[in-house]
Amino acid sequence: MAGKSLTQTQLIQKLAEDEQLTKKQVKALLDNLAALAYKEAKNGFTFPGLGKLVLVQRKARTGRNPATGETIKIPAKKVVKFKVSKTAKDAILGTGTPKAAAPAKKTTKKK
CATH of the domain at 86: 4.10.520.10
pLDDT attached to residue 1:
44
61 and 89 both lie in a single domain: yes
Q: Is the pTM of this model over 0.75?
A: no
| pLDDT surpasses 60 at 108 | no
For residue 102, which phi and psi values (nearest 5 degrees)? -70, 135
The model's confidence at residue 53, banded by pLDDT at 50, 70 and 90, is: very high
Q: Which domain holds residue 54?
A: 44-94
pLDDT attached to residue 51:
93
pLDDT attached to residue 9:
93
* Residue 87, H or E segment: helix 86-93
pLDDT attached to residue 111:
46
Average pLDDT, the chain: 86
Between residues 98 and 43, the one the model is more confident about: 43
25 and 55 both lie in a single domain: no
The answer to whether 55 and 80 are in contact (CB under 8 A) is yes
DSSP letter for 107, please. -
31 and 61 both lie in a single domain: no
Mean pLDDT confidence for 67-80: 94
| pLDDT surpasses 70 at 109 | no
- Is 62 strand, coil or helix? strand
Q: Which of 86, 12, 94 is nearest to 49 (CA)?
A: 86
What is the number of domains present in the chain? Answer: 2
pLDDT, one tens digit per residue, over 4-39 is: 888 999 999 999 999 999 999 999 999 999 999 999
For residue 92, which phi and psi values (nearest 5 degrees)? -75, -45
